[in-house]
Amino acid sequence: MTSAVLAPLAKSKIKTRAAVKGMSLAEIEKVIENLNAVLVSEKKKEESKAKAAKKAKIAKIKALMEESGLSPADLRSSGRGKARKKAAGKKSKVAPKYRLVVKGVEHLWSGRGRPPRAFKDYMDAGNSKESCAI
C-alpha cells in the first residue's frame, strides 16, 4: 500500500472498515502490529532529527558566542532575569496589616483588594479596620 492508499484510512473509520472487510481477525491484528512497528521506527527517526537539529543550533550559538567574545557567565550576569520574572506575572506576597480573631480563628488581611468576609462583617458592624491593625 502506498501513502495515497493509507492516508484516507487515517481520516475515516468507515474507509478503514471497508479496507479491512473480508480480512480475518488475525490478518487485521498483523496489520496493526506492523503499523505499530512502523510508528515506533518513525518516532525514533523524528527524535534523532530533533536531537541533530538541537545540536546544530547549540553549535551555531556557541560559534556566535565565541565570535562575539561572550561566555555563558556573561549571559547569566545580564541582570534581566529577575525583571522578566516579575513582568511575567509573579506577584510577591504582601505582609498582613490587619488581624482579626473571630471564634478562635485568626483572619489576616493585607489591606489590599476586597476585604475577607470576616473583616467585612466586622466593619459593617460599625468597627474600623484601624482597630485591627497589627
Checking if the pLDDT of 90 tops 60, the result is: yes
Q: Which residue has the cell 543550533?
A: 57
C-alpha cell at 127: 468597627
**Domain locations along the chain:** 8-73, 98-132
Q: What is the pTM of this model?
A: 0.45
DSSP-derived secondary structure for 105-134 = EEEEE-S-SSPPHHHHHHHHTT--GGGGB-
> Counting beta carbons within 10 angstroms of the beta carbon of residue 31, is it exposed (0 to 12), middle (13 to 18) or buried (19 or more)?
middle
Instruction: Find the mean pLDDT for residues 36-58.
Output: 97
The pLDDT mean for the chain works out to: 88
Determine the pLDDT at residue 124. 94
Note whether 98 and 109 are within 8 A (CB): yes
Determine the pLDDT at residue 27. 95
Checking if the pLDDT of 81 tops 60, the result is: no
Checking if the pLDDT of 84 tops 80, the result is: no
Q: How many Cα atoms sit within 13 Å of 75 on the Cβ side?
A: 10
More confident residue, 56 or 75: 56
